[in-house]
Structure 1
Amino acid sequence: MMPAASSWFAWAALSAVFAALTAIFAKVGLSGIDSDMATLVRVVIIFVVLAAFVVATGKWMDPSTFSARNWIFLTLSGLATGASWVCYFRALKIGDASKVAPVDKFSLVLVALFAVLFLGERPAPREWLGIGLVAAGVIVLSLRR
């Protein structure tokens, strides 16, 4: 058994917990303010906390040592993250967190498809079943009563 600190599953599970708390805290925090402004405040807080964490843990690297490929794909990832957060906060502003967050997790299905197409990954049948169940759940949530 792998130690918890090096287990991808443990980190992914923690990510899910924090993502769930993000939705709940954001829904409450959006009350009476614009969702784009709220996203900006969130980004500033994330920047400060993460910068302090990187420095405190001795993980700072000189960004000038990054390759062009690193910069291109980290920039694209940052742009996609920003777009995702803007869309997510707007959805939370007008929708129920219990409905918005699961639909947002349709990204799991898209990640699997993109990983197959662009990264050459090959999920096992059991993994496709789980991915399919997530897709089915999103479809059920999107149906109007």
Structure 2
Amino acid sequence: MEKWVLYAFISMFFAGFTSVIAKMGLNGISGELGLTIRTLFVCAFVLLFAVWAVPVQQLAEVSQRNLLWLGLSGITTALSWIFYYKALKLGDVATVALIDKGSVVVAMLMAWLLLREVITLRMLAGAGLIVAGLLVIAKKP
């Protein structure tokens, strides 16, 4: 197995825990406050990780283009988290998490448009199954 696949599975594992333990942490407080507290922990943890893992010389390699795209990514991440926590506070974890995973389809389309990544028939079938799953689970009886 390639290293990136292993990393993706580890990410999936932790992301699955994130929603459940976040919902538990929102008990008695607003989604906005919960997100703020969580983000402070994320920031501290990532900074400590960077101090450990990133060579100082790499700082000189950061370009304005890097800052632009990573800054935009940070803004979209923040917006995603804000609305995710609003949904998580009000909805069921499984349904909110599943709808959020529809982002796979959005990412596939954006990668095709902006990065010229190839979308195969297999990927289209997978995206179709994700959308079908979203429609089945998100629809209330």
Give the TM-score of the pair, scaled to structure 1: 0.90
Please say if 1:69 is aligned against 2:65. yes
Shift of 1:123: 2.1
Q: Percent identical across equivalent pairs? A: 35
Which residue is 2:137 aligned to?
Answer: 141
Which residue is 1:81 aligned to?
Answer: 77
What is the distance in 1 between the residues matched to 2:110 and 2:139? 25
The code of the aligned residue for 1:124 comes to T
Q: List alignment gaps of at least 5 residues for structure 2.
A: none
Please say if 1:109 is aligned against 2:122. no
What is the distance in 1 between the residues matched to 2:20 and 2:51? 29
Q: Deviations over 1:73-108 (max 9, x none)?
A: 111000000000011111010000011000000000
Which residue is 2:13 aligned to?
Answer: 17
The code of the aligned residue for 1:80 comes to T
Which residue is 2:89 aligned to?
Answer: 93
Please say if 1:50 is aligned against 2:43. no
The code of the aligned residue for 1:118 comes to L
Which residue is 1:38 aligned to?
Answer: 34
Give structure 1 regions of 4+ aligned residues with deviation exceeding 4 angstroms.
60-65
What is the distance in 1 between the residues matched to 2:92 and 2:10? 23
What is the aligned-residue RMSD (CA, Å)?
A: 1.5
Task: Report the count of equivalent residues.
Answer: 141
CA gap of 1:67–1:35, structure 2 versus 1, over 3 A, is: same
The code of the aligned residue for 1:111 comes to A
Give the TM-score of the pair, scaled to structure 2: 0.93
